[in-house]
């Protein structure tokens, strides 16, 4: 996440993520699933512009960036009111701070929706940070992390520098130094709903693979890390849309270091050897109509560094 504060506004660039590993351990009594997942931020960014207002209203305008490949399916409208986590994040900060202030916000989307790339969660984290900075609240980081967890399981991750093992329902964060990985990410024309994918999945218990994956990444051994990619939601997602199998078969034909679905899908990514390799593969996948295709790198950055 990167922040600029030109005059009275706050502008946040907030990244997408991919899950290098995602184990679904068990279903919990509260309806969530206990997971262990290794996440890295990647260089596809949404932009949030936050302008503090004296009036109490929270105004949010959302639009896709010009020519955004993210608009892969034409039905993917972005909600602009309280249904949007950005709006709820700002309302939550305002309530916690006991302020009677409002905001005018513009959210420019590039991260595809219903994709397992954390777009809505990333936007919510950006909104928390923007409101916190614009209203000069000076809270400890942990206070924002707690608010983030209330908004959604993936939101606290986006307050890290860009890589973490996440446990619990996803909100318990153990950061690690972001690795440098090049990837190609394809979001097919069909998206998937996170609750539907979770309810179709079969929890498989814990294996402790996440620690080994992080150790490989810390040693810079991308090939070994790629051999440990896993996603316990992929079979469930593949039962919900044929696109997952189709993408898997396409990536198997390509010369990638490793590949799998991200999060609850429907995006699928392959790890490439270099940025050039990722760009070449992205061009090839675009030519075979695989939806919105991005060449990306792991992203580093933090609002409070």
Binding site for ligand C5P (CB under 6 A): 32-33, 35, 152-154, 169-170, 194-195, 198
Catalytic, out of 73, 154, 212, 235 = 154
The nearer residue to ligand C5P, 238 or 300, going by C-beta atoms, is 238
Cα distance between residue 285 and residue 279, in whole Å: 10
State in angstroms the smallest separation of the CB of 270 from ligand C5P: 25
The nearer residue to ligand C5P, 22 or 184, going by C-beta atoms, is 22
- What DSSP state is assigned to residue 219? T
State in angstroms the smallest separation of the CB of 29 from ligand C5P: 12
Per DSSP, which regions of the chain are E strands? 2-4, 10-27, 33-53, 58-64, 102-109, 163-167, 172-175, 182-187, 230-231, 258-261, 268-272, 292-297
Cα distance between residue 150 and residue 171, in whole Å: 9
The nearer residue to ligand C5P, 154 or 216, going by C-beta atoms, is 154
The nearer residue to ligand C5P, 15 or 270, going by C-beta atoms, is 15
| 154 is a catalytic site residue | yes
The nearer residue to ligand C5P, 79 or 195, going by C-beta atoms, is 195
State in angstroms the smallest separation of the CB of 137 from ligand C5P: 24
Cα distance between residue 83 and residue 41, in whole Å: 24
- The answer to whether residues 133 and 53 touch, using CB atoms and an 8 Å cutoff, is no
Cα distance between residue 264 and residue 60, in whole Å: 27
State in angstroms the smallest separation of the CB of 32 from ligand C5P: 4
State in angstroms the smallest separation of the CB of 35 from ligand C5P: 5
Cα distance between residue 87 and residue 91, in whole Å: 6
Non-local (6+) Cβ contacts of 246 within 8 A are 188
Q: What is the 3-state secondary structure (H, E, C) of 115-179?
A: CCCCHHHHHHHHHHHHHHHHCCCCCCHHHHHHHHHHHCCCCHHHHCCCEEEEECCCCEEEECCCC
| 17 is a catalytic site residue | yes
Catalytic residues: 17, 154
């Amino acid at each position: 996440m990167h922040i600029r504060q030109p005059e009275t506004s706050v502008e946040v660039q907030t990244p997408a993520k991919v899950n290098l590993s995602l184990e679904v351990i068990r279903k919990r009594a509260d309806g969530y699933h206990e997971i262990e997942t290794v996440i890295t931020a990647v260089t596809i960014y949404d932009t949030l512009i936050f302008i503090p207002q004296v009036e109490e209203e929270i105004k949010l305008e959302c639009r896709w960036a010009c020519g955004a490949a993210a608009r892969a399916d034409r039905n993917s409208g972005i909600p602009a009111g309280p249904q949007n986590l950005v709006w709820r994040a700002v309302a939550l900060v305002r309530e916690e701070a006991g302020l009677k202030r409002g905001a005018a916000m513009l959210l420019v989307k590039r991260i595809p929706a219903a994709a397992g790339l954390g777009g809505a969660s990333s936007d919510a984290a950006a909104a928390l940070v923007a409101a916190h900075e614009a209203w000069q609240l000076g809270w400890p980081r942990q206070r924002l992390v707690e608010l983030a967890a209330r908004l959604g399981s993936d939101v606290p991750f986006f307050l890290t520098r860009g890589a973490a093992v996440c446990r619990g329902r996803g909100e318990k964060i153990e950061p690690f130094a972001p690795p440098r990985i090049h990837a190609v990410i394809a979001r097919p024309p069909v998206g998937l709903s996170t609750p539907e994918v979770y309810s179709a999945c079969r929890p498989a218990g814990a294996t402790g693979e996440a620690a080994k994956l992080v150790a490989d990444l810390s040693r810079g051994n991308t090939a070994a890390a790629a051999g440990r990619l896993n996603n316990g939601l992929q079979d469930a997602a593949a039962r919900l849309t044929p696109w997952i199998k189709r993408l898997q078969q396409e990536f198997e034909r390509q010369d990638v270091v490793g590949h799998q679905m991200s999060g609850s899908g429907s995006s699928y990514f392959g790890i490439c050897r270099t940025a050039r390799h990722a760009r070449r593969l992205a061009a090839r996948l675009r030519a075979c109509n695989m939806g919105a295709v991005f060449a990306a790198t792991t992203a580093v950055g933090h609002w409070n560094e």
